[in-house]
Amino acid sequence: MRVDLDDVQALHDLDSMGMLGAAWNLPEQCEQAWSLAQDLPLPQVRDWRQILVTGLGGSAIGGDLLRVFAGDKLGIPVLVNRDYTLPWFVDRNTLVFAVSYSGNTEETLNAYDAARERGATIVAITTGGQLGRRAAADGVPVVRVPRGIAPRSATGYLFIPMVALLERLGMFFGMRAEVEGLVAHLRELRRRYGSETPVRNNPAKQLALNLQNRLPVIWGVAGTTEVVAQRWKGQFNENAKAPAYWNVFPELNHNEVVGFGQPEEILDRIWLVLLQDEADHPRVKLRMKITRDMVKKAAGITEVQSSGPNGLARVYSLIYLGDYASMYLAALAGIDPGPVRVIDYLKNELAKHK
């Protein structure tokens, strides 16, 4: 049954896994996540030439955050791997973060084994599962994160320990202050986006109403909001069980934008979201302005500007808005945002064919 977005009780009744509560607690999760990596034994080998984060879905997005946010601060490249196998160049000079909330995702387990065979330095981030067991048996350090929420609600737990550990390793600095700024900003934002704030004052609820019965197409920017665009798409898929698509400037100016000619019945269903950050390349800012006026056949466009005291807070400000909007979009269709039965079904079917 469709839910009125101002009916707070109904929103929570529909949410069997407490996704709204987990979103509300994200600032506290981020705080706690910082301390999770503080006692971890530091790896002895440190002559890494690259960092690779391997994981899938909600467990991979922290890797993208690290790649985009910390990429140019670390002095070595960060790559994200969403596969069973690893790129050929992963070797003993690679630091691998194997991330799986459940610890039972077969692609990640396979990649973990491959990283062991290549002699890479590994750190596992998980609630336990097979990854936790394998890592413990292999003497691989494990960041144990709390159970009980959906993997995609655990971005703080799955991302921030990587940053904290890299700071402890002396690979970059000032992260503690950056995380503190993030936490303070998320505390402000949750009062705007949270379930208790009515539609008239709540940009996340307003966005969900615009997206209702529409196809969200989210456009971010390479190097800044690209990770957010991908995250929003995943959240609309997993929380609202709805299709959504994403792309990035400037690449989309060379293909996707041409596809706004026809058919009108489909274009009429598309709602574009343009994600903007102060660090976007000036020429890309101009491209966005010009492009906005070229896609008039879409049903509508929402432009969203990041906010916050630092780069990390700005990226998360957008992620947070998308997280909330996707849950409200689910509610508008009477859908429980938590369970992802399609993913569970796939995992169970695959498990029958070991």
Q: Which residue is nearest to ligand PA5 (CB)?
A: 57
CA trace torsion 306, 311, 312, 318 (10° rounding)? 10
| Binding to ligand PA5 in span 54-83, by CB under 6 A | 55-59
DSSP calls for 124-157: EEESSHHHHHHHHHHT--EEEPP-SS-GGG-HHH
Task: Identify the active-site residue in 233, 238, 296, 352.
Answer: 238
The span of 29-37, 98-106, 252-260, 304-312 binding ligand PA5 (CB under 6 A) equals 98-106
Among 64, 226, 238, 277, binds ligand PA5 (CB under 6 A): 238
Is 239 among the residues that bind ligand PA5 (CB under 6 A)?
no
Q: Is 107 a catalytic residue?
A: no
- Closest CB 131 distance from ligand PA5, rounded Å: 8
Asked whether the beta carbons of 249 and 292 are under 8 A apart, the reply is no
Among 54, 108, 197, 306, binds ligand PA5 (CB under 6 A): 108
Q: Is 265 a catalytic residue?
A: no
d(CA 107, CA 50): 21
- Closest CB 153 distance from ligand PA5, rounded Å: 8
Find the length of the chain.
354
Q: Is 238 a catalytic residue?
A: yes
Question: Interface mask (CB under 6 A) for ligand PA5, residues 138-177, using x and -?
Answer: ------------xxx-------------------------
Among 102, 155, 195, 197, binds ligand PA5 (CB under 6 A): 102
Beta bridge partners of 247: 219
Asked whether the beta carbons of 204 and 122 are under 8 A apart, the reply is no
DSSP 70: I
β-sheet with 50-54: strand ranges across: 78-81, 50-54, 94-100, 121-126, 142-144
Q: Would you please indicate which residues are annotated as catalytic (active-site) residues?
A: 238, 254, 347
Residue ranges binding ligand PA5 (CB under 6 A):
55-59, 100-102, 105, 108, 150-152, 238, 340, 343
